[in-house]
Every structure is written in structure tokens, then in C-alpha cells.
């Protein structure tokens, strides 16, 4: 299993020299299983760079787990380019306590 942190900032993305080492994007983790499956945890602004990488790799199957529906955990979703590519297979999941709020946000914008 390989875990990559694409964003770890809270509330809002930040930029500037002081963020070069650890980055300034909001929460997004990529988990790749030994079988090559891709699980994405949260869709903060870090998901934008992850999406670009996945497109270069020609990957089309993803699972996204939303831990909760705070803005900094969903802010990057519209910028995840794979959702606009025909043939993308995307499975969205919400943690048990957050399922209804996540579903509400995506189905009733």
C-alpha cells in the first residue's frame, strides 16, 4: 500500500514561500493498494494535482471517501479533471456519520 498526501491544510488553501516544503492545499490523500486500486480520501484542493497525475497515467477507476462535508474537504472536487472525462468510473462514499450531509451537498447544490 502506498499513501500520498496531496493536501493537509485546514479551512482554506494557502500559498507563499513558507508553504513550499509541505504545500498549501487542503485535505486529500491517495491510497494505492497492492493491486493498483485507487482510493481517495477527501477532495480538498489537493485533488486537483492528483487528478492531473491520474489523467497522465490514464487511470479511470476511483473511489472517493468523504470524511465529512466541511468546505475544505470538498472544495477541490469540481477541479478534479477525471470527472469530466468520458469513461471515468467514480464511486463516492461518505463515512457513516457524514453520509447524509455529503449526499445533500452533491445532489442539491
Report the CATH number at residue 89.
3.60.15.10
For 8-108, list the strands marked E by DSSP.
28-32, 38-41, 61-66, 89-94
Region of 11 on the Ramachandran plot (φ > 0 left; ψ -120 to 50 alpha; else beta): left
How does DSSP classify residue 25? P
Q: Would you state the pLDDT for residue 99?
A: 63
pLDDT tens digits along 88-99: 999 988 877 666
The domain tally of the chain equals 1
Q: Which domain holds residue 103?
A: 2-107
pLDDT at 53 > cutoff 70: yes
**Number of CB atoms found within 10 A of residue 52's CB:** 14
**Is 90 exceeded by the pLDDT of residue 19?**
no
Would you mind telling me the total number of residues written for the chain in this entry? 109
2-14 tens-digit pLDDT: 999 999 998 888 9
Helix (H) or strand (E) holding 98: none
pTM: 0.88
Amino acid at each position: 500500500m502506498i499513501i500520498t498526501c496531496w493536501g493537509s491544510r485546514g479551512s482554506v488553501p494557502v500559498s507563499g514561500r513558507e508553504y513550499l516544503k509541505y504545500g498549501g492545499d487542503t485535505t486529500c490523500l491517495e491510497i494505492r493498494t497492492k493491486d493498483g486500486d485507487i482510493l481517495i480520501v477527501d477532495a480538498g484542493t489537493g485533488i486537483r494535482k492528483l487528478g492531473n497525475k491520474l489523467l497522465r497515467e490514464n487511470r479511470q477507476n476511483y473511489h472517493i471517501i468523504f470524511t465529512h462535508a466541511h468546505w475544505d474537504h470538498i472544495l477541490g472536487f469540481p477541479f478534479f479533471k477525471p470527472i469530466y472525462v468520458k469513461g471515468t468510473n467514480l464511486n463516492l462514499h461518505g463515512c457513516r456519520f457524514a453520509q447524509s450531509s455529503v449526499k445533500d451537498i452533491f445532489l442539491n447544490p
